[in-house]
Amino acid sequence: MTDVSTCPPLTRQSVREAHDRIRPYIHRTPVATCETINILASTPQAERCPSSGPNAAAETAPHDHNRTDNAGRYTARPNVKLFFKCENQQRIGAFKARGAFHALGRLIEADGLESVKKKGVVTHSSGYILMQQAGNHAQALALAAKTHGVPAHIVMPSISTPSKIAGTKSHGANVIFSGSTSDEREAVVAEVIKNTGATLVPPYDHPDIILGQGTQALELEEQVEAMLEDDPALGISGRKRLDAVIVPIGGGGMLSGICTALHGTGIRVFGAEPRFEGANDAEQGLKLGKRIEKVKTLTIADGLRTPVGEIPWSVITDKTKLAGIYSVTEEQIKAALKLAMERAKLFIEPSAAVPLAVMLYNEDFREMVEQEAGHEGWNVGIILSGGNTTVEAIAKLFAAPEKEEERAAAKVTTNGESVAENVAG
Amino acid sequence: MTDVSTCPPLTRQSVREAHDRIRPYIHRTPVATCETINILASTPQAERCPSSGPNAAAETAPHDHNRTDNAGRYTARPNVKLFFKCENQQRIGAFKARGAFHALGRLIEADGLESVKKKGVVTHSSGYILMQQAGNHAQALALAAKTHGVPAHIVMPSISTPSKIAGTKSHGANVIFSGSTSDEREAVVAEVIKNTGATLVPPYDHPDIILGQGTQALELEEQVEAMLEDDPALGISGRKRLDAVIVPIGGGGMLSGICTALHGTGIRVFGAEPRFEGANDAEQGLKLGKRIEKVKTLTIADGLRTPVGEIPWSVITDKTKLAGIYSVTEEQIKAALKLAMERAKLFIEPSAAVPLAVMLYNEDFREMVEQEAGHEGWNVGIILSGGNTTVEAIAKLFAAPEKEEERAAAKVTTNGESVAENVAG
């Protein structure tokens, strides 16, 4: 990875330059809208009738857990129209392609292609075994490396599922097995670097990655303006552009990138986080005024299990850049996932459903939008960050209730780390 | 429904006029492409390595059942690029909105809005209980009727699932229950007509429906040309337009509409049918030279369980309009469904996966394309007809193997008709 001291500053202009750099290699992913979900999002939770639609179960998803004790109480009526940025249709099926192509492109600019080809690049799977995020980043790096003819080394726990290993191998990467703890993996990475001179490309905590991930916001901004120009009925009456964007946050590469991309535009940026077992480390950290460095959660949003990284933290604590972080429960994530698939017909991974879950079910967020947006309403961008799951994983998530107990029972402990059956494996 | 004798002729020009009529009410659905699926479709089945990708199970889906006895034999290498017409993102989640809006629009033109408002319209759920196709048509008619302020009566078996009934009700339709046999349903429809004067709008066997369903082909044709103009790399080198389209066939409204729309353009139209329990009635009928009038199948492609209708039959037996029909097994449909979701990230119902299954797994079709298209190759349109399924239905389809036996065991017999647990319910 390029030395941090030589990186471009974290500014909107740098994101523009990153976009120019990666444009030939990535998809300009489509933006989708869905009438039914707009109506649901603009209806108070207490007024969503369980029998009023074909997806009764999803539409009566549990309210915020602090608030279910008060049936029939007032619930907010925000006026919103949603624009889904379909990064599930990005290359390798997730936004991670942006950061990987940008980081490798910058490395090649800095060191020269021949040097990078000689040394190669390396990354590893992160904290939890079989975690989706590292899988996406590893696949993205493998693709970027193959595109430029650069050797890529991917360090993975030896008990990774065959399909995930095959996915990375298919882009020509050299897969190296390690033990399952982070110490064991880091030792193998160090060995690869020692033997080959390969450069480590981390998944989120680096300016080149952050700038690459931010590029999707520039596209979304332009695409929404063009869509509203063509058909004003897609948006909130009289408003010609986005008012806000909701972005998933795990390690924070994407959220800090989008905060950077939209800084100064007046478009508010919100983070969306799972809450299960303390996965909402960024939300809690902002409250405490201190970054939480360790997280141990098995949320179904498996791309968001990581604590926020140092550089992303320095961006999201800037109140002129981030407007707030809101979290949701596992059931709310499942309900949003179900709606995205069944109503918008978009196949996404659980992590990608978290922003929609905040919009539909987090009552604090909804009250804030009702107050800030008023009658006029907001056009809200929803980042669908990836679609790398399988029909079998979806089957496990939505199997009959008795099956879920089996799933919970399938947790085992290996090498002192908690290991879950990979719901997105 | 307008009297058949007063309908426009089944010509490309009539489809154009139908398109002008319905354009304000329907979505111009997007067209998607997927590099990974293009590569798979252009790779001989025998060379698709089980461990070469993250979806090994899908990529090693069973070959045509007549041919699996000969491992290692030659399999065809057609050169194709695919263009997915996303009618799963059409209003009500399926192409049926086109036919319903067109049929009602023509009725209003013929009889006057006031008369139609006074009498209303009626339709019913078809042959098998809980069948997806009738559900889609009923919902489409309910939406079209609501749009024009026309009362709609939907006759449904009393054991329909609550969610399906709610879906139809949500468009303001008057849902009337009947027994589950077709005789019982037809008696209730006759009673509704007698009491209200409502006009019956059948799901496929009428020129107004056929012309409406054909409109998607005009869009696809234009969209592919525009996409290839923007980015020639999306298509087969040197070819600026579609060479062929593959279309699901159940009752045949859509297939005959698309045959009509593309007649004289040089774009070949193929039908794609499930084979399970004789669901391939159109393929068999073409071989016998005689329309098969009864079909009793529980194929997972539940929108395609119907025998082809009389008027559609008169179109598809014209060899200048239809180039052929090919069928696929249940496992091939599941494998294509899995690929469409996991790789193209498109949420579709099983019926919509049948054309992709033909492209990927029907060796007769693939040999024909290899011979006809040669080295040059074809740009092939794939109609994704709808996305009205649920995550729970997907869970049942892809649950662990032992669960499938339970599903098969769940078949029961009621009122002399075979009833399956509704996989898309």
Residues A193-231 pLDDT 10s: 999 999 999 999 999 999 999 999 999 999 999 999 999
**Residue B65: what pLDDT?**
43
pLDDT: is A55 or B370 the higher one?
A: B370
Residues on chain B touching A395 (C-beta within 8 angstroms): 394-399
Those residues whose C-beta lies under 8 Å from the C-beta of residue A312, and which sit 6 or more positions away, are: A204, A205, A210, A251, A252, A253, A255, A256
Choose from A345, A348, A390 for mutation: most chain B CBs within 10 A: A345
Q: What's the mean pLDDT in B264-268? A: 98
C-alpha–C-alpha distance, residues B177 and B188, integer Å: 8
Q: What is the pLDDT of residues A357-394, one digit of tens each?
A: 999 999 999 999 999 999 999 999 999 999 999 999 99
Q: What's the mean pLDDT in B46-70? A: 48
Q: Do B391 and A341 touch (CB under 8 A)?
A: yes
Q: What's the mean pLDDT in B46-61? A: 50
C-alpha–C-alpha distance, residues A217 and A203, integer Å: 19
Would you please indicate which residues of B are annotated as catalytic (active-site) residues?
96, 126
Residue B301 sits at the chain A interface (C-beta within 8 Å): no
Residue B166 binned pLDDT confidence (cut-offs 50, 70, 90): low
Q: Do B394 and A392 touch (CB under 8 A)?
A: no
pLDDT: is B124 or A130 the higher one?
A: B124
Mean pLDDT, chain A, integer:
86
Least Cα separation, residue B269 to chain A (angstroms): 26
Pick the range with the lowest mean pLDDT from A169-183, B139-153, B345-359.
A169-183
Residue in the block written with tokens 């068999």: B284
Measuring CA to CA, how many Å separate B153 from each of B62, B158, B190, B306?
A: 43, 14, 12, 22
Least Cα separation, residue A5 to chain B (angstroms): 38
**Residue B167: what pLDDT?**
60
**Residue A231: what pLDDT?**
93
**Residue B425: what pLDDT?**
26
Mean pLDDT, chain B, integer:
86
Cβ–Cβ < 8 Å for B425, B390: yes
Q: Is B320 exposed, middle or buried (0-12, 13-18, 19+ CB in 10 A)?
A: exposed
Residue type, B170: S
Cα dihedral B60→B64→B68→B74 (10° resolution) = -80
Pick the range with the lowest mean pLDDT from A41-55, A84-98, B391-405.
A41-55
Minimal Cα distance from A389: which residue of B? B342
Q: Do A390 and B345 touch (CB under 8 A)?
A: no
pLDDT: is B166 or B377 the higher one?
A: B377
pLDDT over 80 at B416, yes or no? no
Strand segments (E) across A39-135: 80-86, 121-124
Pick the range with the lowest mean pLDDT from A57-66, A145-154, B14-23.
A57-66
Task: Kindly report the three-state secondary structure assignment for every residue of chain B.
Answer: CCCHHHCCCCCHHHHHHHHHHHCCCCCCCCEECCHHHHHHHCCCHHHCCCCCCCCHHHHCCCCCCCCCCCCCCCCCCCCEEEEEEEHHHCHHHECHHHHHHHHHHHHHHHHCHHHHHHHCEEEECCCCCCCHHHHHHHHHHHHHHHHHCCCEEEEEECCCCHHHHHHHHCCCCEEEEECCCHHHHHHHHHHHHHHHCCEECCCCCCHHHHHHHHHHHHHHHHHHHHHHHHCHHHCCCCCCCCCEEEEECCCCHHHHHHHHHHCCCCCEEEEEEECHHHCCHHHHHHHHCCCCCCCCCCCCCHHHCCCCCHHHHHHHCCCCCCCEEEEECHHHHHHHHHHHHHCCCECCCHHHHHHHHHHHHCHHHHHHHHHHHCCCCEEEEEEECECCCCHHHHHHHCCCHHHHHHHHHCCEEECCEEECCCCCC
**Residue B254: what pLDDT?**
98
Residue B372 binned pLDDT confidence (cut-offs 50, 70, 90): very high
Residue A163 sits at the chain B interface (C-beta within 8 Å): yes
Cβ–Cβ < 8 Å for B260, B321: yes
Residue A159 sits at the chain B interface (C-beta within 8 Å): no
Cβ within 8 Å of B, A 164-193: 164, 166-167, 170
Residue B394 sits at the chain A interface (C-beta within 8 Å): yes
**Residue A179: what pLDDT?**
81
**Residue A98: what pLDDT?**
98
Residue B24 sits at the chain A interface (C-beta within 8 Å): no
pLDDT over 50 at B66, yes or no? no
- Please give the helix or strand (H or E) that residue A249 lies within, else none: none
C-alpha–C-alpha distance, residues B222 and B265, integer Å: 12
pLDDT over 80 at A111, yes or no? yes
Cβ within 8 Å of A, B 43-102: 51-56, 86, 88-89, 91, 93
Minimal Cα distance from A335: which residue of B? B391
- Please give the helix or strand (H or E) that residue A153 lies within, else none: strand A152-157
**Residue B165: what pLDDT?**
62
C-alpha–C-alpha distance, residues A117 and A148, integer Å: 8
Minimal Cα distance from A336: which residue of B? B391
Choose from B347, B384, B404 for mutation: most chain A CBs within 10 A: B347
Q: Do A54 and B86 touch (CB under 8 A)?
A: no
Percentage with pLDDT > 90 across chain B? 72
Least Cα separation, residue B84 to chain A (angstroms): 13
Minimal Cα distance from A164: which residue of B? B54
Residue A402 sits at the chain B interface (C-beta within 8 Å): no
Cβ–Cβ < 8 Å for A81, A242: no
Percentage with pLDDT > 70 across chain B? 83
Residues on chain B touching A162 (C-beta within 8 angstroms): 51, 56
**Residue A122: what pLDDT?**
96
Q: Do A391 and B338 touch (CB under 8 A)?
A: yes
Range with top average pLDDT, B63-67, B250-254, B403-407: B250-254
Residues on chain A touching B396 (C-beta within 8 angstroms): 395
**Residue B54: what pLDDT?**
31
pLDDT over 60 at A108, yes or no? yes
Residue A161 binned pLDDT confidence (cut-offs 50, 70, 90): low
pLDDT: is A103 or B136 the higher one?
A: A103
pLDDT over 60 at A409, yes or no? no
Residue A127 is encoded by which pair of tokens? Answer: 């904290």
Question: Kind of pairing, strands B378-384 and B80-86?
Answer: parallel
Residue B61 binned pLDDT confidence (cut-offs 50, 70, 90): very low
Residue A387 sits at the chain B interface (C-beta within 8 Å): yes
Q: What's the mean pLDDT in B190-219? A: 96
Under 8 Å CB pairs connecting chains A and B tally to 106
**Residue A183: what pLDDT?**
84
Residue A317 sits at the chain B interface (C-beta within 8 Å): no
Residue B163 binned pLDDT confidence (cut-offs 50, 70, 90): low
Q: Do B166 and A398 touch (CB under 8 A)?
A: no
Q: What is the pLDDT of residues B288-307, one digit of tens each?
A: 999 999 999 999 999 899 99
Minimal Cα distance from A92: which residue of B? B343
pLDDT over 90 at B40, yes or no? yes
